[in-house]
Amino acid sequence: ISLKTATGEKAEIHGKLDAAIECGSRKFQNKIYVADITDPCILGLDFLQKFNFMMDLEKNEIRTGGEEIPLFSASAEDSKLCSVLAKEKTIIPARSECLIQGVPETSGKFRYAVTDFPSQVSQKGVLVATTLVDLKKEAVPVRVLNLDHKPKTIEELLLRHVSQWWISLLSSRIFRITTPPVNLGES
């Protein structure tokens, strides 16, 4: 077996594992190949067909066993900003970094969003770490850095709804793979 990346480069396969792959409330046993790729997981058409997965790109969801699991937003027009209010007014000391708890204000159309540098805060000298957040959670963690020599007050941040470029990050949240301990040097 040989594996080629999307750019045509050959990727070394380190071994084969029998893995339990969770999607929603269902669990699937399947053999997988382990290789050095940047995506947390790539599921092929063979896997999706074998376990009767249905992808509905119009609704941006994957279905299995009657369960609908949202995927991502695929259109540029859906890439809009949403607000995250700080759970409480937060003063960040000069030249420091902190993690604040935010409360997302969303329409419910999106599940995930990503902080969008550099326009995510109106104050100069304040940076927000690029972070993928789950908007279904009551509170989302946001890392904020104050580069200024004066304290800054944070009350609201802007996030950009996630787009198709984040699908590889989302796949690790949609599918969870568990494997027994194994020596990858063996076939």
Locate the domains of the chain by residue range: 2-74+167-178, 81-162
Please tell me the predicted confidence (pLDDT) of residue 63: 86
Cα-flanking dihedrals φ and ψ of residue 78, to 5°? -80, -10
Give the three-state DSSP class for 172: helix
Would residue 66 be called left, alpha or beta, if left means φ above 0 and alpha means ψ between -120 and 50 degrees? left
Cβ contacts of 92 within 8 Å, gap of 6 or more = 98, 126, 144, 145, 146, 151, 152, 153, 154
pLDDT, one tens digit per residue, over 50-84 is 888 888 767 777 888 888 877 654 444 444 556 67
pLDDT at 156 over 70: no
Q: How many angstroms from the chain centroid is the CA of residue 93?
A: 30
pLDDT, one tens digit per residue, over 80-109 is 556 677 777 788 888 888 888 877 766 566
Neighbours of 32 (CB within 10 A): 18
Q: Does domain 81-162 have CATH number 3.40.47.10?
A: no
Of 4-8, 38-42, 84-88, 175-179, the poorest mean pLDDT is in: 175-179
Burial 44-67 (b: 16+ CB within 10 A, else e): eeebeeebebeeeeeebebebeee
Helix, strand, coil abundance in the chain, percent, nearest 5: 10, 50, 40
Query: 158: which strand partners?
Result: 83
Cβ contacts of 64 within 8 Å, gap of 6 or more = 23, 24, 26, 51, 52, 53, 54
Does the predicted TM-score (pTM) go above 0.85?
Answer: no
| AA letter at 67 | E
